[in-house]
Structure 1
Amino acid sequence: MIGYVGTGGSFFECIRYCLQDKKELTEEQKQNLAFKNNLQHKNRAEILEYNKCFGNIKELSRQFIDVAKLSKRVEKPVFHFALRLAPGETLTDTQLAEIGRECVKDFGVADNQYICVLHKDTNEQHIHVVANRVDFNGKVASDSNSYKRMAALCRKLEKQYDLRQVLSPRPFLSAEERLLPRYDLRREQLKTDIRRTLEQVHNYQQFEQRMAQLGYKLIKGRGISFIDSKKVKIKGSEVGFSLAKIEQILQLKQELDSAQEKQKKYELAVRQEIAKMPSYTPAQKLIRRTREKALMSQSLFTKIIQELIKLLSVLLKPEYTSNHMPFELTQAGFKKRKEKNRPQHIRSH
């Protein structure tokens, strides 16, 4: 589960985003996307729960603002939470509403105004919660350590609902946990898309066009970065495909195309020469075949093509990642470290 937490100053804009369809999509685009990926892009939002509030966007905003005025010192009274399940995982609406209640409880706004909203326009189930940081007594809920608290909430909910467990963001991990291997679905998908595209194209322009068709915007400078459909920017070097490596692969592919074209011309010339040789008798036919085989084996392009294919195969392989558990984190390593840290007079017994 992935969690987001943020604060803001506009209840109207936050509630509008949660309750309305995407502004950049026309009605026709919503229909086309709904047909294409079988998701609900029109009327994408479903309110799972109201707490101490009710109504449409304007009515909800006015109610939240009126309560927020009870505190004169808060500048950002909006709490906005988002919780997204991993691909393939699903929960019932009742369970998702329970998760929303767990969220506001952990952030100290369970008795405040809030709405819990389910979005239906993505493959992964996710909910949004908009809450008022100000309660009816004018007390303001703290927003300190929000990211750490959200990470802890996600880990708790994963166990509670038997969901896929992931590591929290690195800043909130212990030194030992930071050594554990991480799996980033977004980066793995980008890595796969880059590799498959490089296998299909022959120059940078084709590469850029093909990646754009897959939903990526490319930024090329001293290096290369990719921005996906969710506006997330990832450097090519972070997924094992730096600009230098991509350019090297494309250069090798052009050399391979050139070598293969020369090989075809060479083979055609050999066949034309062999065609001039007589082949009336069995002996003449044998000489002709032997000559053709000898000439074909003399081609330097065959060896060049083989070497280029071999090199491209190595460059296009996914980066090696080790799932090896560091010895210090194993049970034996823990015991050894514990023994080492004991006072000398205790170890001697």
Structure 2
Amino acid sequence: MVKTGSSFYHLISYVLEDKRELSEEQKMKMSLKDGVRHKDRAEILAYNNCFGDKYEMAEQFRDVARLSKRVEKPAFHFSLRLAEGDHLSRDKLIELAEALVKEFTVADHQYLIVLHKDTREQHFHIIANRVGLNGKAATDSNSYKRITTFCRKQEQKLGLTQVLSPKVFLPKEQQSLPRQDRRKTRLRDHISQTLRKVNNYPDFEKAMCSLGYTIIKGRGISFIDGKKVKTKGSEVGFSHSKIEKILSLKMELREKQSEKRSWEVFTRGRTNDDFVDRLDHTSYLGPAIQQLSSIIEQLLKPEIADGQLPYELTQRAYDRKQKGKKKGRSL
């Protein structure tokens, strides 16, 4: 994330202090629950051409910013968060942050690097002065594209998880290619694995909640993960009706398996003709169980509609676009 602002004081206060909306009691409870630090969350990793408390640093930044009368928003605010499971040492985090200020040509300007410890994923903030000590200002043009390109390069250099860039920043030849969303892949795997383990919907919902999802059920079903991102079940190949169908078939399978076990116990050691007749009568159980197991297994392998193509490349999107054009011509 990269933004520009006009108030150094408010940005510096934000990165150095705890969240103001949390009481001391809430910080303690949330820290125990989340396994992170909500109290004294900020750790200063490095200063450059600045020192002191938030008031002193804000004044120093403002003094230098006044050297340029053309810059209305002299404050650069950078924020980088590592992907889930990635971890860098303190020195490597500083190295990454210093590479970022160099990329935005503010390496010799005033800046402050602060690590926040209130999330499971490592993330840090940089407050930098766009105006240098010589009065010249660093450009903020194409900031999002520049930081996106920077992140992809650093992921490769540092061996970090490769994250998808927004399509608008990709070369034209790559914008139309199907892409794998790690968040959706993870959700799809969690649903599939959970459905293998449980036999009814209440247990399914309980298990998914234990994995960090909030479930919203209406005409369809949606899952909200720990980052508050909402994803429809149908987007990952598991619509509400499909989940119910799988659980219903599993219930039928259990009943037939139970019937087969009971029959095997009852007929153990019996050889009379009456028994043979009844054995023939129930010989369908084996093939029926096998067939049900096969159907369930196929349903647990989701097929994403339209081969996981981006919506704008699907037949449905094309038809809708053509319909809109015809409607426009008829007006």
TM-score over 0.5 for the alignment? yes
Report the equivalent of 2:151: 154
Change (3 A) 1:270 1:311: closer
Instruction: State which of 240, 243, 248 in structure 1 corresponds to 2:242.
Output: 248
Partner of 1:31: 32
* Superposition pairs of residues 61-80 of structure 1, within 5 angstroms: 61-65=58-62, 67-68=64-65, 74=71, 76-80=73-77
Q: CA-to-partner distance for each residue in 1:196-215, whole Å, 9 max, x for gaps?
A: 23334455555444333322
Aligned to 1:18: 15
Change (3 A) 1:138 1:184: same
Offset at residue 29 of structure 1 (A)? 2.8
Residue identity matched to 1:198: L
RMSD of Structure 2 on Structure 1 (CA): 3.9
Distance 1:256 1:160 in 2: 47
242, 251, 254: which one aligns with 1:257: 251
Displacement of 1:137 after TM fit? 5.8
User: TM-score, normalised to structure 2's length?
Assistant: 0.71
- Aligned counterpart in structure 2 of residue 107 of structure 1, from 104, 107, 118: 104
Query: In the aligned structure 2, how far is the partner of 1:212 from the partner of 1:73?
Result: 52
Which has the greater radius of gyration?
A: 1
Please list every run of 5 or more consecutive structure 2 residues that lacks an aligned counterpart in the other structure.
308-331
1:287 and 2:273 correspond: yes
Any idea what SS the aligned residue of 1:143 has?
coil
Q: Deviations over 1:82-130 (max 9, x none)?
A: 2344455544323322221221122232233211122345554433212
Pairwise CA distance, 1:267: 7.3
Secondary structure in structure 1 of the residue aligned to 2:43: strand
Which residue is equivalent to 1:316?
Answer: 300
Distance 1:297 1:90, change over 3 A: same
Counterpart contact for 1:10–1:78, Cα < 8 Å: yes
Separation in structure 1 between the aligned mates of residue 250 and residue 162 of structure 2, nearest angstrom: 45
> Once structures 1 and 2 are overlaid, which stretch shifts more, 102-111 or 261-270?
261-270
Structure 1 residue matching 2:251: 3-state secondary structure? helix
CA deviation after TM superposition for structure 1 residue 148, in Å: 1.0
Deviations 1:146-178 (A, max 9, x none): 111012212333454455555543222223444
CA distance in 2, matches of 1:263, 1:90: 47
Alignment of 1:190 onto 2:187? yes
Change in Cα spacing, 1:205 to 1:240, as seen in structure 2 (3 Å) is: same
Deviations 1:20-41 (A, max 9, x none): 445555213313543xxxx555
How many aligned positions are there? 302
Q: Which runs of 5+ in 1 are unaligned?
A: 323-349
C-alpha distance in structure 1 between counterparts of 2:273 and 2:99, whole Å: 85
Equivalent residue for 2:283? 297
Q: SS of 1:130's equivalent?
A: strand
Q: 2:122, 2:161 → 1: CA distance?
A: 14
3-state SS of the aligned residue for 1:285? coil
The range that moved more, 168-177 or 216-225, is 216-225
Partners of 1:20 and 1:45 within 8 A in 2: yes
- Give the Cα separation in 1 of the matches to 2:74 and 2:90: 27
